[in-house]
């Protein structure tokens, strides 16, 4: 059966309106993404279900690199309660992470005694950003978009985005610690 052109166009328009919307990056949760560990092993975020994850894009040669110390302290303090700090080395800002994975790991362990997990070096901004960061940008808007190294994104135990803080907000700032305590269902101190 052939329909006259205007009627066919209306049918196509009605079908397009009734069709399910395309999936956006903000759909789902962080557990749909994965990284590769700095040692080269798969690191699916689904492996952190039930834990809060503070995802931080890091760099070894940045003025904010000393934040590693406070990140490690947070990890030590709340690890038993379900917090994972996840360092995501990136060379996106000022080329401040130029080394190899081996260089980055050695730097973190030697200078800051880092024991929390690190990923392979990743792009965190622009079109080549890791899918997690594209999702965070859509889910949290400007707050989820790294503008420099040591941007922090908190993911809840269910994989939902909770909040994000810019570089200048220290890992032990009251807002960050309070949000971590809240998602871990701990009394605020």
* pLDDT above 80 (res 137): yes
CA 68, 155, 20: angle at the middle one, nearest 5?
145
Is 108 annotated in the active site?
no
- Beta-strand ranges (E) seen in the chain are 34-36, 42-44, 52-58, 83-89, 152-155, 161-165
> 7 in a domain, yes or no?
no
Structural domain contains residue 57 = yes
Q: Are 168 and 162 in contact (CB under 8 A)?
A: no
Number of separate domains in the chain: 1
Is residue 121 one of the residues assigned to a domain? yes
Q: What average pLDDT does the chain have?
A: 89
Q: Is residue 14 part of a domain?
A: no
Q: What is the pLDDT of residues 66-119, one digit of tens each?
A: 999 999 999 999 999 999 999 999 999 999 999 999 999 999 999 999 999 999
Which of 42-46, 79-83, 100-104, 185-189 has the weakest average pLDDT? 185-189
> pLDDT value at position 7?
46
Whether 146 is covered by a domain: the verdict is yes
Which residue out of 62, 123, 173, 184 is catalytically annotated? 62
User: What's the pTM?
Assistant: 0.86
CATH number of the CATH domain containing 88? 3.40.30.10
* Domain residue limits at 133: 29-183
- 11 is a domain residue: no
pLDDT band at 22 (very low <50, low <70, confident <90, very high): very low
């Amino acid at each position: 059966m052939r329909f006259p052109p205007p009627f066919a166009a209306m049918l196509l328009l009605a079908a397009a309106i009734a069709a399910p919307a395309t999936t956006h990056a903000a759909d789902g949760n962080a557990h749909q993404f994965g990284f590769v560990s700095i040692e080269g092993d798969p690191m699916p975020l689904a492996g952190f279900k039930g834990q809060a994850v503070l995802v931080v894009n890091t760099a070894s040669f940045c003025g904010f690199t000393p934040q590693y110390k406070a990140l490690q302290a947070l990890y030590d303090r709340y690890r038993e309660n379900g917090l994972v700090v996840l360092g995501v080395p990136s060379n996106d800002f000022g080329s401040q992470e130029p080394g190899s994975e081996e260089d980055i790991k050695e730097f973190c362990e030697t200078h800051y005694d880092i024991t929390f997990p690190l990923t392979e070096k990743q792009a965190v901004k622009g079109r080549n950003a890791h899918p997690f960061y594209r999702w965070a940008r859509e889910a949290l808007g400007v707050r989820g978009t790294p503008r420099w190294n040591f941007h922090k994104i908190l993911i809840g135990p269910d994989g939902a985005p909770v909040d994000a803080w810019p570089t200048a907000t220290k890992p032990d700032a009251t807002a960050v610690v309070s949000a971590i305590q809240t998602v871990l269902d701990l009394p605020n101190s």
